[in-house]
Every structure is written in structure tokens, then in C-alpha cells.
């Protein structure tokens, strides 16, 4: 969880986010792990946003809340990239084995449809394999629906209220591991990952829909075993 002192130092640096930023020192998490084996760990992140815009044009941190937004017409993160527009917190902690978890509270305004709000990105992976182990996407149906990909429903009625998501990943070097997704403390989905890779967590709005996408995050905790 971020402290006001850490945020003040970031503000003084005018969010010079080309370098990693310290976000949450170990031992200050509000959430509790599901077992004594999990411990909170410090993490750093970089803001990824449309390459032609200032960070402040698509990201704000205020009152302990990260707010990120993007439009369907925005430029990609890097010039010439074929990927969709995004504003995301890209965790700098990478791993290829062991257990890691992202946990945080998320708020989605009504009408938002199309963005990925949490994902595990497989940055270094074998050719021909999928780029992500999990993508949690928002759709404008049933009062706001959170799904893995486009078909596996995690929760409905998510608009305009805070809810808690925890994504646990046990990665196996040279093999396939397991991903578990919890919604408000209840296990909703368990599935295999996509095989060997070096990966990292991301949260924000990676927008595959139309119009404006926005998501807010607070009490983010990074866990490991």
C-alpha cells in the first residue's frame, strides 16, 4: 500500500516515470494473505500511457487512489505499435517461477466497456505462445461484468462500487503453473497458465473497446511466497 510520504516524493519528481517508482514497502499491506505462507513485498512500477502525451494527461494519484483513463483514439504506448491504447501500471518485478499475487480494490464507472484492468503479461516467452496468462476484462452488460477474456464471468454488477480482486499465480520453470482469481475474497476461477515465460503484473486500462475507459485502484498489495 502506498504511503503519503512516498507519493509526495513522486510528486516532487514531477512523475518522472522513465525510472521505476517505489510504491509499497513490505509489511504495510491492509489485506490479509489467505495463509501464513504469503508475505507482502515491496514493488516498483512504471506508468505506460499514450506515447505522445504527458503522464498527467491520463493518470492521477490522489487520496490514495490511482485513476487511469484512455480513449479509443489514443496513440499506443510506443510509436508504431499495433497494440491498443493503454494507461497502465507496469510492475517492474519479473519472475519465471515461484508464487506471486496481485491484490487491490478496483472501481469502474458505469458505461465503461472494453478494457483489460488486470493482467499477467508474458514479456519473454516462446514464439507462438500467448502474450498473457490472464486478462480480466470489463464489459457493459448486467450492470458491468468482469470476465477472464470474453467468456468466463468473474462477477456482474461491478459498476460504481469498490470491489477487491486478487490474482495468484504459481509459475513453474519449464512447465505450466496455476492462476487463481478471487473476487471479494471468494475464489472464482482456477486455470493453467500458458507455460514457461518471464512475466509481470499490470493494472490499469488496456482498451479494446470504444469511447473512454477509466478504472481506479487503491490498496494495491504485491504478495509472494
User: Would you place residue 33 in the very low, low, confident or very high pLDDT band (cuts 50, 70, 90)?
Assistant: low
What's the pLDDT at 70?
Answer: 98
Per-residue pLDDT tens over the stretch 83-119 = 999 999 999 999 999 999 999 999 999 999 999 999 9
Helix (H) or strand (E) holding 169: strand 162-171
Report the 10 Å Cβ neighbour count for 41: 18
CATH 2.60.120.200 fits 4-224, yes or no: yes
What's the pLDDT at 11?
Answer: 35
φ, ψ at 112 (rounded to 5°):
-65, 130
Q: CA 167 to CA 189: how far, in whole Å?
A: 10
> In this structure, what C-alpha cell is assigned to residue 185?
475474497
Burial of 83: CB neighbours in 10 Å, binned 0-12, 13-18, 19+: exposed
Per-residue pLDDT tens over the stretch 146-187 = 999 988 999 999 999 999 999 999 999 999 999 999 999 999
Q: What is the mean pLDDT of residues 25-36?
A: 48
Per-residue pLDDT tens over the stretch 136-148 = 999 999 999 999 9
* Strand pairing category for 86-91 and 98-107: unpaired
Give the residues across from 40 on adjacent strands: 223
> In this structure, what C-alpha cell is assigned to residue 93?
518485478
Give the position of cell 464489459: 139
Sheet with strand 86-91: strands edge to edge: 21-24, 43-48, 86-91, 198-207, 115-124, 132-139, 145-148, 152-156
Helix (H) or strand (E) holding 7: helix 4-12
Mean pLDDT of the chain: 88
Three-class SS state of 132: strand
pLDDT for 64 beyond 50: yes
pLDDT for 12 beyond 50: no
Give the residues across from 139 on adjacent strands: 145
pTM, two decimal places: 0.85
What's the pLDDT at 32?
Answer: 53
Amino acid at each position: 500500500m502506498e504511503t503519503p510520504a512516498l507519493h509526495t516524493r513522486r510528486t516532487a519528481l514531477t512523475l518522472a516515470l522513465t525510472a521505476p517508482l517505489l510504491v509499497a514497502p513490505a509489511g504495510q499491506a491492509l489485506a490479509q494473505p489467505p495463509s501464513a505462507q504469503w508475505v507482502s513485498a515491496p514493488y516498483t512500477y512504471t506508468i505506460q500511457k499514450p506515447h505522445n502525451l504527458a503522464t498527467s494527461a491520463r493518470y492521477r494519484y490522489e487520496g490514495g487512489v490511482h485513476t487511469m483513463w484512455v480513449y479509443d483514439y489514443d496513440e499506443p504506448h510506443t510509436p508504431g505499435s499495433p497494440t491498443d491504447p493503454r494507461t497502465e501500471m507496469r510492475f517492474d518485478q519479473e519472475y519465471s517461477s515461484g508464487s506471486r499475487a496481485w491484490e487491490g480494490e478496483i472501481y469502474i464507472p458505469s458505461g465503461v466497456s472494453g478494457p483489460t484492468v488486470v493482467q499477467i503479461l508474458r514479456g519473454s516467452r516462446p514464439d507462438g505462445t500467448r502474450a498473457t496468462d490472464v486478462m480480466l476484462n470489463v464489459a457493459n452488460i448486467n450492470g458491468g461484468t468482469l470476465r477472464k477474456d470474453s467468456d468466463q464471468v468473474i462477477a456482474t454488477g461491478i459498476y460504481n462500487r469498490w470491489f477487491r480482486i486478487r490474482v495468484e499465480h504459481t509459475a513453474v520453470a519449464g512447465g505450466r503453473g496455476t492462476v487463481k482469481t478471487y473476487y471479494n475474497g471468494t475464489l472464482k476461477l482456477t486455470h493453467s497458465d500458458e507455460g514457461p515465460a518471464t512475466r509481470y503484473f499490470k493494472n490499469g486500462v488496456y482498451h479494446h473497446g470504444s469511447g473512454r475507459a477509466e478504472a481506479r485502484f487503491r490498496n494495491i498489495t504485491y504478495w509472494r511466497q
